[in-house]
Amino acid sequence: MSRIIARKNPVVFKTQAIHVKATPEVLCYTPVGNPLSFSEMQALRQPIQIDDPDNFELTVANLGVSVDLTLHWQGRSFHVLVRQERPDHGDNVLKLISGYVPAHELRIPMLTVMTEIAEELLLETERGWLQGCYQGTWLPTPYAETLPLYEKLNFELTPHSGATRPVLCRELHLIERPRAYVHLPTNSLQLVYQMRIDLPDRCRKLTALHADEYLDNHGQLIASIDYRRPELFLVEIENGRPNGQLFSLEQGELVNRRPKHLWLSEALAPQRGWIIDQPRSPWPDGLERL
């Protein structure tokens, strides 16, 4: 049975369209136009075509971020994926932790990454929930009222590696060097950050959960967790590559998971130049691109 951990009125989301100029060496983006509501943004997310994947200039509907998060636990390493049911696509995908970038963070999208990790990745110990810290900055604690923190311990979030081609917002290089691609089916610019999460050694009965959000019949935004369906999956890394084994982490034990009829999200589909033209990636082929 799921447990509600937050109930609130939806935050008024505003963003902007994104002008993108790409060359084989660099991609530069600039927020343009009037603020867009969530519904206005969605209306612009229609399929587009690009003739040259290395050289183009266009305006896309929005900026999104994802984080390829590597978790280390008891001497083993894992990629972190979450499950998303997509009724509009008729599928289930395992995806990277991700989110839309609001207008006030378009120039510093790393702030959105930190918020998404805090909202989607929940780590429970026998003495409370872990807060994260990124290079001396505490991550938000959106569920502190219902999920009390373990004040003496926290997890550390650090940059893992970066893309070779630079991405700029106007004239400023983005920190942590994310990978960038324009997703043609959704007319959006996407940034993928590679990060590492290190857990404290003293957490022996750790459980990793994913917070799911939905709108109820009264228009309130509900966040919930379900211990019977953690919906957060760990893909083990062996010899530097994912081996296809999926686990959940429950009470300090790695539990083998075998979800059915899975796909991977488009972030793990083949990329040509600066574009990805597929709506999703087959399982397990896309794991090769983690």
Closest-CA residue to 237 (of 105, 73, 19): 73
Counting the structural domains of the chain, the total is 1
DSSP 195-230: EEEE--TT--S-EEEE-EEEE-TTS-EEEEEETT--
Task: Walk along the chain (290 residues) in steps of 10 and give the mean pLDDT of each run.
Answer: 84 94 98 95 97 98 97 92 84 93 97 96 95 95 94 93 91 94 98 94 89 82 90 94 93 89 93 97 92
Q: What is the pLDDT of residue 1?
A: 65
pTM for this one? Answer: 0.95
Cross-strand partners of 79: 70, 235
DSSP 152-210: EEEEEEEEEE--SS-EEETTEEPTT--EEEEEGGGTEEEEEEEEEEE--TT--S-EEEE
Domain span including residue 71:
2-289
Structure tokens at 103: 């207008």
Residue pair 130/93 in contact by the 8 Å Cβ criterion: no
Q: How many CB atoms lie within 10 A of CB 105?
A: 18
